[in-house]
Structure 1
């Protein structure tokens, strides 16, 4: 699985949390799907 990832590693809990925090704090984003997957769905 990791070999298919462009970054060749899994995301850390902190990296996932950064995506969540971005969506929670950004009032201008509405109805957004933010993919935090290391480039897997480029």
Structure 2
């Protein structure tokens, strides 16, 4: 889910200050066999 308004002031003028990129879900690390498989999107 992507925020569209500031939770503090309600402004819609948001700016990305930290991007974590593609981050695995908790407890969803890949095994060695899965490393070469394409990612589901």
Q: TM-score range by the shorter chain?
A: under 0.3
Scaled by the length of structure 1, what TM-score is found?
0.22
Larger radius of gyration: 2
Scaled by the length of structure 2, what TM-score is found?
0.22
